[in-house]
Structure 1
Amino acid sequence: MSGSATSDKHRQRGSVRQRGNSLQVRVYAGVDPVTGKPNYLTETIKGTDKAAHRRASKVMTKLQARVDAQRSPSSSVSFSHAVDEWLRTADIEDTTRHGYVGYIERSIRPVLGDLPVNKITARTLETFYGELRRCRLNCDGRPFVEHRAEGEHDCAEKKCAPHQCKGMAASTVRQVHSIISGVLNAAVRWDWISSNPARIAQRPKQTPPQPDPPSPAQAAKLVDKAFELDEAWGTLVWLAMTTGMRRGEVCALRWSRVDLDEGIVEVRSSYTTLRGVGREKDTKTHQMRRIALDTETIVLLREHKNRCDELARSFGLPWSEDFYVFHEVSGDLTKPYSPESVSNRYKKMAKRLDIDTHFHALRHYSATELLTAGIDLRTVAGRLGHGGGGATTLRVYAAWVAAADRKAAEILGSRMPKVSRK
């Protein structure tokens, strides 16, 4: 084979192509033994200027070196490659995957990516977690400017500023730990390592949940304001408050799942959006549940259904039970109210009332009011859709469960026969 042919073959190992306002570096990594399809390592570089092309060239060299290392039987698979294979094979929902990729690219890969998986120890991970708690960017402590854009740019225009260390919250570090542990569990299954060091590595303690529901007086103001703004919006806020449904569950609700004669709502799905594209998916616990409705809620939903029917007729549409209960503002009954729009509108409404709260707090309100009224834990857990037979409910609402237990003790004491004392 001539030298020219060898050079051409080497160049074919990778390529750089423009995708919109970015460059994609692509390096051939062999054929998958299971699927028979070619594998590629890819990385995206923001920008298309000369500086971006220089960075792309460096990334190309790095990816080619990673492929060479993984093909060598004397060297260990890199953690970065293990991450890629885990992401490719793991059964993860799109929204969860999107969040995982963000943590991986921002925090995990820059620090641990080049390490061989068999060189990662519990101490490595604990040191990494400690650094994340100190600074989420894992800086070296030296001053530098946090540039808000790559390549050549005007720092004043982009509002670049000196870096200030800000540590990750304990809950976020625990999420990072969960991702790393998942990758290393896969590495164990694939015989790349003999044990998972993340199993014994210490991670930040989980902070106890601190639900902050609105007070009954605040809840009344919120409901009154919601109905004042819009009857449909008021019904949505009321339903969330009385049923404890999650935001996505309220948005995904269709009339076919509402039985107004029996006074039952079936919660079977949740609505979510990712990069502006919405879709229905399973509920958080992947379980269907039926929630009983009170008389006032049934009346409000009947009135709301009549309004939806009138709206459909005004558009010349025959009524369909597959219409969403809460549709988008434009009046299209076939498209749901987006979860982000619900949160934003609720936040603005609460701010006008000078109440510091958010939409999810309505779920907390429903739970705490039921527990305070003495409703048993299993019933509350069932309405909320908590798994574990009430264990999650007990953990999140421990303070209110204790108050309900005190109330139960007083009720029982008052019903006990009186004992005469000398």
Structure 2
Amino acid sequence: MTRADGTEERRTRGSIRARGNSLQVRVFAGKDPVTGKDVYITESVKGTDKAAYKAADKVQTRLLAQVDAQRAASTIVTFSYAVDEWLRTSDLEDSTRDGYVGYIERTIRPVLGAVQIRKLTARMLENLYAELRRCRVRCSGKPFVEHKAEDDHDCKAAKCKPHKCSPMAASSVRQVHSIISGVLNAAMRWDWITSNPAKVAQKPKQKPPQPDPPSPTDAARLVEEAFVMDDDWGTLVWLVMTTGVRRGEICALKWSRVNLEEGVIEIRRSYTLRRGVGKEKDTKTHQMRRIALDTETVVLLIEHRQRCRDRFAELGIDLTDEMYVFTGVRNVDPTVPYSPHAVSSRYKDMAERLGIKTHIHALRHYSATELLTAGVDLRTVAGRLGHGGGGATTLRVYAAWVAASDRKAAELLGSRMPKRGQRKLAERPKKKSAE
């Protein structure tokens, strides 16, 4: 028998069978778009007597109605349509949007695009995540050749290779889950669905952060080498190391946000490059913060400002507050900041020459771990780093160093406690003097 939509109607859409001391109601709900396997909705009813079978009949009728409702005309909105509407209405950063679109087009839409959103289940999503963790292209497991061209071609010349399964990283699968969940949350707000299956679907566990800051010895070598290269570069590396600012934030810093009299810098903006075009945007947490500077850092910035003033004077340019603090090696235009990519590349080359395996973001970790190890309280460290949640993010990322700081606090408190021998001596009753 064939239904109006062209799909084959099963003779038995539901069944009731005894399982031990209960009855299992089983209703066919279609095929899983990820695995192609049949999907059934099941529910149990206690007992195996006549009353139990009567109750099971009612459960079966309800489940069949639930499946039929999913096939009704009101449920024709597909996930593909929903994701397009979500992208159109969401307020996303350009770089974030580009990343999301990549996941959607490569991974999500080919699998779930044609599925009506009311038919999406947590099981479907978990099947997708499991397939991606096995192989990112969701192959059948049978050997095949990955062709580099679609038309007739010479595989040897095109360098076609046999497929090797490559699992998608757990963090990437979590990103896929986040996108799907965001789309379904929007569908709930728009009354297209009544519940979000992504909320109950299990996703890969998030690995705890493992920051790897340079050691104090390596940090000293890095900043020393930076000043040997040139004073401007040395000042940039020093400032990142002592404040823990992000790469984009140091590039977007303007002289108007540097108060050398108070010894404070304000972090309000970040600078990013997208397809070769640079632009300023809000900080990662969309909040400004003020970071206090130590005396030596203030002196370095005063000297750096004077160098910039002298350099621009030779070009007939006056230094103004709206100019960027750091403008790069070959850049003579003070209205164009240091490229974030150039900062990372130059730092990496410098570290490799010294034989140190690190990157520019690790200086942020260095600043945080040094402060925590020194006993600075968590909220202060979180404020300097620009972490939200009152220190929850800082605690999650730097838990090991917070524990070390807690140990230091314990030792400090223990050192201030009265000595055990002294306490016993104080408690001992005084002897009466002989008359």
Global fold match (TM > 0.5): yes
Q: How much has 1:400 moved relative to structure 2?
A: 0.3
Q: How does 1:76-87 map to 2 (within 5 A)?
A: 76-87=76-87
Distance 2:113 2:131 in 1: 16
Give the letter aligned to residue 394 of structure 1. Answer: L
Q: How much has 1:342 moved relative to structure 2?
A: 1.0
Give the letter aligned to residue 112 of structure 1. Answer: L
Residues 263 and 417 (structure 1 numbering): CA distance in 2 closer, same or farther, change over 3 Å?
same
Q: How much has 1:147 moved relative to structure 2?
A: 4.2
Query: Which residue of the partner structure matches residue 358 of structure 1?
Result: 359
Distance 1:372 1:186 in 2: 44
Q: Tell which deviates more after alignment, 400-409 or 184-193.
A: 184-193
Give the letter aligned to residue 290 of structure 2. Answer: R
Residues 274 and 160 (structure 1 numbering): CA distance in 2 closer, same or farther, change over 3 Å?
farther
**SS in structure 2 at match of 1:102:** helix
Query: Which residue of the partner structure matches residue 268 of structure 1?
Result: 268
Does 1:146 pair with 2:129?
no
Query: Which residue of the partner structure matches residue 58 of structure 1?
Result: none
Distance 1:239 1:83 in 2: 42
Query: Which residue of the partner structure matches residue 417 of structure 1?
Result: 418
Query: Which residue of the partner structure matches residue 386 of structure 1?
Result: 387
Query: Which residue of the partner structure matches residue 107 of structure 2?
Result: 107
Distance 2:243 2:107 in 1: 38
Q: How much has 1:140 moved relative to structure 2?
A: 1.9
Q: How much has 1:180 moved relative to structure 2?
A: 0.2
Residues 402 and 87 (structure 1 numbering): CA distance in 2 closer, same or farther, change over 3 Å?
same
Runs (5+) with no aligned partner, structure 2: 1-71, 426-435
Per-residue deviation, residues 312-362 of structure 1 (Å, max 9, x unmatched): 112211221111111133221111111111111111211111111111110
Residues 233 and 149 (structure 1 numbering): CA distance in 2 closer, same or farther, change over 3 Å?
farther
Query: Which residue of the partner structure matches residue 433 of structure 2?
Result: none
Query: Which residue of the partner structure matches residue 245 of structure 1?
Result: 245
Q: How much has 1:417 moved relative to structure 2?
A: 2.2
**SS in structure 2 at match of 1:281:** strand
Distance 2:398 2:377 in 1: 13
**SS in structure 1 at match of 2:76:** coil
Per-residue deviation, residues 370-409 of structure 1 (Å, max 9, x unmatched): 0000000010000000000011111110100000010011
Query: Which residue of the partner structure matches residue 377 of structure 2?
Result: 376
**SS in structure 2 at match of 1:371:** helix
TM-score by length of 1: 0.80
Residues 288 and 162 (structure 1 numbering): CA distance in 2 closer, same or farther, change over 3 Å?
same
Per-residue deviation, residues 163-218 of structure 1 (Å, max 9, x unmatched): 22111221111111000000111111222211110011001111111111010011
Query: Which residue of the partner structure matches residue 342 of structure 2?
Result: 341
Structure having the higher Rg: 2
Distance 1:230 1:155 in 2: 51
Runs (5+) with no aligned partner, structure 1: 1-71
Q: How does 1:271-350 map to 2 (within 5 A)?
A: 271-329=271-329, 330-350=331-351
Residues 308 and 158 (structure 1 numbering): CA distance in 2 closer, same or farther, change over 3 Å?
farther
Q: How much has 1:75 moved relative to structure 2?
A: 5.5
Distance 2:157 2:134 in 1: 29
Give the letter aligned to residue 411 of structure 1. Answer: L
Does 1:96 pair with 2:100?
no
Q: Tell which deviates more after alignment, 315-324 or 252-261.
A: 315-324
Distance 2:306 2:398 in 1: 37
Give the letter aligned to residue 222 of structure 1. Answer: L
- Aligned CA RMSD, in angstroms, stands at 1.7
Query: Which residue of the partner structure matches residue 118 of structure 1?
Result: 118
TM-score by length of 2: 0.78
Residues 373 and 106 (structure 1 numbering): CA distance in 2 closer, same or farther, change over 3 Å?
same
Distance 1:114 1:97 in 2: 22
Count of paired positions? 351
Q: How much has 1:130 moved relative to structure 2?
A: 0.7
Identity of counterpart residues, as a percentage? 71
Q: How does 1:19-38 map to 2 (within 5 A)?
A: none
Distance 2:192 2:259 in 1: 54
Q: How does 1:215-234 map to 2 (within 5 A)?
A: 215-234=215-234
Distance 2:184 2:249 in 1: 34
Q: How much has 1:109 moved relative to structure 2?
A: 1.0
Residues 344 and 145 (structure 1 numbering): CA distance in 2 closer, same or farther, change over 3 Å?
farther
Query: Which residue of the partner structure matches residue 399 of structure 2?
Result: 398
Distance 1:152 1:258 in 2: 62
Q: How much has 1:144 moved relative to structure 2?
A: 3.1
Contact 2:134–2:168 (Cα < 8 Å) also in 1: yes
Distance 2:154 2:352 in 1: 35
Distance 2:77 2:200 in 1: 21
Does 1:235 pair with 2:238?
no
Q: How much has 1:73 moved relative to structure 2?
A: 3.9
Contact 2:75–2:118 (Cα < 8 Å) also in 1: no
Q: Tell which deviates more after alignment, 320-329 or 251-260.
A: 320-329
Distance 1:228 1:360 in 2: 21
Distance 2:150 2:318 in 1: 53
Residues 235 and 151 (structure 1 numbering): CA distance in 2 closer, same or farther, change over 3 Å?
farther
Distance 1:214 1:101 in 2: 35
Q: How much has 1:225 moved relative to structure 2?
A: 1.3
Residues 232 and 157 (structure 1 numbering): CA distance in 2 closer, same or farther, change over 3 Å?
farther
Give the letter aligned to residue 208 of structure 1. Answer: P
